[in-house]
Amino acid sequence: MNLFWRYGIKSVTMDDIAKDLGISKRTIYQHFKDKNEIVEKVIKSKLNDEECQMQELEENSLNPIDEIVNISTHIRESLGSMNPSVLFDLKKYHPEGWALFREFKKSMVIQSVRDNLIKGQQAGLFRLDIDVEVLSRLRIEQIEMAFDPSIFAFGQFDIVEVQIQFLDHFVRGILSPEGFNYYNQLPSTATQSNTHEK
């Protein structure tokens, strides 16, 4: 898995995988039909890990603002060690793996964001006039958009910085006055808040 994340999926060969695992290519082919199947298994494992992480962060967050910030921080930390071409490679060369990612996004992640927005409204931290269905989808597309080289060219933009900007823009658009006061006092966003308000 680390090879794909570090170098991108396309650039990693079966020889690279065998060398990294310290086994022969023949042994790999005894368990996997081809690279496509390996990619699919790796993506399944990664998505299962992400689902567990998201549930843990949700359970351990003080309120909906903390939850969305904590999950976004986790995503940014994951992105920091990931080659920006991974999603592009997955979409272009591994349709089965890409389908798994899309299904995870549709069934798990959008629902998680939707639930968070509703909880935030009920807690008085998020505006009541936002459209939860629209914004839950917007937030997920923002995360994926950062990996689109036709919008944010590799080498020209820092994906982590793009995600930070997306998060700050998104959260500020949904906060109630009470929520804004709370968000503005968070240590992780204090610098961003001061920068944007100068």
Q: How many CA atoms lie within 13 A of 61 on its CB side?
A: 21
Check residue 1 and give its pLDDT.
Answer: 66
**What does pLDDT average to over the chain?**
89
pLDDT digit string, tens, across residues 15-44: 999 999 999 999 999 999 999 999 999 999
Domain count, the chain: 1
What phi and psi, each to the nearest 5 degrees, are found at residue 20?
-65, -35
Task: Please check whether residue 15 lies inside any domain of the structure.
Answer: no
> Domain containing 112: what range?
35-197
pLDDT digit string, tens, across residues 106-120: 888 899 999 999 999
d(CA 107, CA 110): 6
Task: Please check whether residue 24 lies inside any domain of the structure.
Answer: no
DSSP string covering 95-117? HHHHHHHHHHIIIIIHHHHHHHH
Task: Please check whether residue 75 lies inside any domain of the structure.
Answer: yes
pLDDT category, 197, cuts 50, 70, 90?
very low
Check residue 131 and give its pLDDT.
Answer: 98
Task: Please check whether residue 109 lies inside any domain of the structure.
Answer: yes
Task: Please check whether residue 164 lies inside any domain of the structure.
Answer: yes
Check residue 105 and give its pLDDT.
Answer: 85
Which CATH number belongs to the domain containing residue 144 in this structure? 1.10.357.10
